[in-house]
Chain A
């Protein structure tokens, strides 16, 4: 979870932060809500899905602003990652071929899943049975293969 401006990171953020501050705050609020959401009637692993998903979205937002729209400076981009607004490891994966849409890092860890392979959501849709609904256990992903 990103440490949002703790006492250690008092140094003012680089220029351009004010442009995205509101959006980042919204993400933070959503994250807080997700963390404090009621557990009632939900499976334990499902509780974590929104957290993974918000992490993904926030990282994608930053990634998109820096790489696709060139709308923020390198300095700000680095600062955002350093301060936990984006998941640097996840973004690093997106830059690799075949991982452009990767949902979360858990889904490419082979050990945690049952079959000692990557998550079902990484399987290309073509290789699945037609109409097969998937929803991975770790983050609720419904398929994040690049070719999909």
Chain B
């Protein structure tokens, strides 16, 4: 039973009938096979090691050179190309893309014919996903309008912002920076190569825009200057005009830095890219091999966010975990499900894999950990609920029995002997000790004054939340809180019933769903709901932001291309006329 998720495995193993037996890469972190070695654990092991290198960090020797401010373009995401395994598609911040062969370490801006269909397919799929997400967002917004809005307190938001930022920074510092460095080195090497092959103009065409260009639209004057400073003498050319100087520095600096390093960097860069960055990325993806394509695409989206320096995301790791837990709750997953089974379920109705909240945790390992913790909590919850039920249920029939038969004239042993054949005295769910105690307590209470017992009964009735006891409740369907309470049977039924009935009549009708809970419960529920809404809003915000980033990048690319085309023309004309002039 090869599940459809498995189609990305490099070599799917046939003839095994249990998913995790196949020698794929996710075994290391999946439940049953978790600690078992039926698996070439190499990929996972590598993932560890690489992961460690990243988090512990090599000395950041190239921080200065590849400073964020200087780096104009940088990689944003990597995508596997199913069926074209050694090749991956890399997207840059400015929306450019290139393909990289992880085996030969080659990179090409121009996508080779052979893998072009795969790239197209990926893009088509992404298009579809976007549409789906937009539909979902719309539906969500419609829903929000229906619900009364919840006002989150200002301090809470700020706090979670901080947490999110810290979190993001930690991650980006340890992982992303090195990713970027490696990728920048690769870009530099790539551009160097392009430069040696082609003209100076060609070199420039792959370096489209200055840092803030995308936001404000393109200043056409600036871009003229920008094109004019295509070679190192350019700084002199633009020297007179302060605006131009500034612009040329902005535009030229990173390239100068990159170019200076490019010679010595080229070889190392390629290796670097392969070993650290790509291997890390692929290993991380490899962990997710068991999943469908949406998996790593979303994963990449998340990377993009961390990459982006989006300080405003109020999205912490706890949020991610809690969103994942919400997901498990919402799908009413049994905590007794084996992990393998959970993540190999692809049924569109019951599978959790297609939910956005599944991908908020970015690795299978993180998901497995969250699952383990959730399953443990959930099982404990179920156990407690059942224990309560079991305690409640047998008492109901026993107390009803006592209410009829118990009398101060009989001591417990006598009562027990007299009714030893009755089912109520033989229910295994209630211990003899409990039965004895209830009997003695009941008899003791029967000796109290009637008014005292009446008062106790009214107190009991008043303590029951409206959800359980209201005008719509009938005498034969009284809530458990009544039926299991000794105070309820302290009065004989002919005296008790009128009191209960009159109390019920004084109550309002059954509340609608909102008012169903007791005050404390309602507060608790409200708090939980508020937290959840916050998480979900953060998730939606993040997705929106990713979308905007992408659109902005696309726009920047379009603008840059247009301006560069114009610039090239201008330059061409200048060069032609310049040459003519010298002659």
Contacts and interface: CB of A to CB of B under 8 A. Distances in A.
A69 B18 contact: no
Given A57-B18, A57-B20, A141-B36, A70 B380 contact: yes
B37 A142 contact: yes
Contacts of A94: 35
A48 interface: no
Interface centre among B38, B338, B382 (most CB of A within 10 A): B38
A148 B37 contact: yes
B575 interface: no
B33 interface: yes
21 contacts: A23-B341, A34-B17, A53-B18, A53-B21, A53-B36, A60-B34, A61-B31, A61-B338, A65-B336, A68-B372, A69-B335, A71-B336, A94-B35, A100-B35, A142-B23, A142-B41, A143-B39, A143-B41, A144-B35, A145-B37, A148-B37
B379 interface: yes
A103 B17 contact: no
B37 A103 contact: yes
B32 interface: yes
Contact of B32 (A37, A57, A69, A141): A57
B337 interface: yes
Interface of A: 19-20, 23, 26, 30, 33-34, 37, 42, 50, 53-54, 56-57, 60-61, 64-65, 68-71, 94, 100-101, 103, 121, 125, 131, 133, 140-145, 148
Given A26-B341, A61-B32, A68-B376, 18 more contacts: A23-B336, A23-B338, A37-B17, A50-B17, A56-B32, A57-B18, A57-B33, A60-B36, A64-B31, A64-B32, A100-B35, A103-B38, A141-B36, A142-B23, A142-B39, A143-B39, A143-B41, A144-B36
Interface residues of B, number: 33
A98 B21 CA distance: 23
B38 A140 contact: yes
Contacts of B45: 125, 148
B146 interface: no
Main secondary structure of the interface of A (DSSP, over half): helix
Nearest to B23: A142
A31 to B, nearest CB: 10
B548 to A, nearest CB: 41
Contact of B379 (A69, A121, A145): A69
Contacts of A103: 36-38
A19 B375 CA distance: 13
B135 interface: no
B124 interface: no
B106 to A, nearest CB: 23
B336 to A, nearest CB: 5
Nearest to A125: B45
Interface in B15-49: 15-18, 20-21, 23, 31-42, 45
In the complex, the 4 A-B pairs of residues with the closest C-beta atoms, listed nearest first: A71-B379, A144-B37, A101-B35, A143-B37
